[in-house]
Amino acid sequence: MQIQTPAWVKHAVFYQIFPDRFARSHHPHKKLLKNATWEEWNAMPTLQGYKGGDLWGVIDKLDYLQDLGINAIYFTPIFQSASNHRYHTHDYYQVDPMLGGNSAFKELLDEAHRRHIRVVLDGVLNHSSRGFFFFHDVLENGPHSPWVDWFKIHDWPLSPYNGEYPANYEGWAGNRALPVFNHDNPEVREYLMEIAEHWIQFGIDGWRLDVPFEVKAPGFWQEFRNRVKAINREAYIVGEVWGDSREWLDGTQFDGVMNYLFAAPTIAFTAGDRVVMEQVQDRSYQPYPPLFAKEYAEKIQELLNLYPWEIQLTQLNLLASHDTARLITIAAGDRASVELATLLLLTFPGAPSIYYGDEVGLPGALDPDSRRGFPLESDWDLEIFDYHRKLISLRHAYPALRTGDYRVIFAEAMMYVFARVLGDEELLVAVNVGTAPAKASMIPTEAGLNSRFNQQLFGSAEFEWSQDTEVASLQITLPPRSGCILRHFSCK
């Protein structure tokens, strides 16, 4: 079977937005909570408080995202809910009124598409919430409810709020606030499929699927793909799976997953022993212990061998998300760790995803702290911002950085060098994660490279060619904790 994935994703740079925390508007058409007393924008976030970000605020920020080089947005859930993160869905057909409702989302979608920015929504199809109409009917009417078989009910009475009694129904991860759907019920299955179809027809460009590995019903995700792709064959389907995802990346289900298998070794390599263990130990990825270049190369090669190339090019690569601490906090505030990891992210096959605020150095420990309000410009780390913008621009400028072959050239001690090759276009990326200057000496032709790299696109390396024999060798010297990108430039 020939695997087909959306062409646009291979050229996308994603930006992940947590809507309550990105931008708060003063839109004249806002009807709900116009004068609400929200949590202070810059105050430490809480588990249950709202800061009042909305979709009109995102519209106001689209020019900023376009200038940064973003051409795709992944939103955490936007549907009506009684939680700031909105994973507790009340109504899958209504965008939360606090965000502006369906009309604000339509306006956002149109404005984003006018700027050639794609929009992917978060699909929470494993579980709903206590406020979901169908489950609420069960709470009101017990075994007489027509929706009783939509959920996994074990006994009566149900106890949705009082933890002194057994819930008597299955909640996600034992959480009685999140009743799990009975996906073996054909009515449930059809309901969820129609939700997916509805929003694709509305105009969204894909779905990010929350905990899809929890859905065990045979053929569910195959049917999901078939029905979504029947409406838009270029729709992106990406699953939240943290580990080995071959089960879902066979070409019949997802186009990619959130690539924590890239994030973990990349953080372990670039941040090394700076990693603050309490920020990572209870997560489903392991950015520790520190890695040397050779170990990092081995892990990256294993990852690149794990899935077909067509899938590799549509993986959603990331360094942080709403489910992790932010990298600058994981790395104990070390800016170089963020910059080096970002260089590796933006030169890796697949679609890079930047968690809102990471591009301006926003810190944040584990949830809820990793979900802070987007900072005022006066609080930005402009060096990190400039670093991101330059690398995103280079990724857009050179197709090899997006879809070219990935070849490890040199990996010793703290120095890691690889090439991205697409036809005649060859780029060399070098990283020194050590605290002392480092030198790499290599023979590019041994890796099948033809270019005599003579132009530095990024960084402050020193490089020279020598030809003691018939074969030319290249020496690159990098300052401590730095990286570079080289290419061949011809004056012809």
For residue 36, what pLDDT band results from cuts at 50, 70 and 90?
confident
Instruction: Find, among 93, 151, 149, the residue nearest to 127 by Cα.
Output: 151
217 pLDDT higher than 90: yes
- Which residue out of 20, 96, 205, 240 is catalytically annotated? 240
Token readout for 250 is 């066979």
Q: Is 210 a catalytic residue?
A: yes
**CA dihedral over 159, 163, 168, 171, signed as positive or negative:** positive
Percent above pLDDT 90 for the chain: 95
CA distance 397 to 401: 9
Residue 388 is inside which H or E element, if any? helix 382-397
Domain boundaries, the chain: 7-126+181-397, 404-487
pLDDT digits (tens, 9 = 90+) for 303-317: 999 999 999 999 999
First to last CA, the chain: 44
* Average pLDDT of span 418-442: 97
pLDDT digits (tens, 9 = 90+) for 153-201: 999 999 999 999 999 999 999 999 999 999 999 999 999 999 999 999 9
Angle, CA of 16, 116 and 320, to the nearest 5°: 15
468 pLDDT higher than 80: no
Token readout for 312 is 């590799």
The residue that leads in pLDDT, 391 or 34, is: 391
In order, the DSSP letters of 238-305 are: EE---S--TTT-SSSS-SEEEEHHHHHHHHHHHTGGG--GGGTTTSSS---S---HHHHHHHHHHHHH
What pLDDT was estimated at residue 489?
86
* Average pLDDT of span 373-394: 98
* Average pLDDT of span 5-34: 90
In order, the DSSP letters of 211-225 are: SGGG--STTHHHHHH
What pLDDT was estimated at residue 492?
54
pLDDT digits (tens, 9 = 90+) for 235-283: 999 999 999 999 999 999 999 999 999 999 999 999 999 999 999 998 8
Residue that is written with structure tokens 């280079």 in the block = 394
What pLDDT was estimated at residue 469?
72
Instruction: Find, among 182, 95, 174, the residue nearest to 138 by Cα.
Output: 182
For residue 470, what pLDDT band results from cuts at 50, 70 and 90?
confident
Classified by CATH at the fold level, domain 404-487 comes out as: Immunoglobulin-like (2.60.40)
CA distance 289 to 110: 45
- Which residue out of 210, 255, 334, 339 is catalytically annotated? 210
Beta bridge partners of 177: none
Angle, CA of 186, 192 and 198, to the nearest 5°: 130
CA distance 101 to 29: 11
pLDDT digits (tens, 9 = 90+) for 124-147: 999 999 999 999 999 999 999 999
What pLDDT was estimated at residue 491?
58
447 pLDDT higher than 60: yes
What pLDDT was estimated at residue 142?
97
According to CATH, the superfamily of the domain at 7-126+181-397 is Glycosidases (3.20.20.80)
Beta bridge partners of 353: 14, 318
Token readout for 323 is 């489910």
What pLDDT was estimated at residue 276?
98
CA distance 397 to 478: 24
Read off the pTM: 0.97
The answer to whether the beta carbons of residues 129 and 85 sit under 8 Å apart is no
Instruction: Find, among 259, 248, 315, the residue nearest to 285 by Cα.
Output: 259
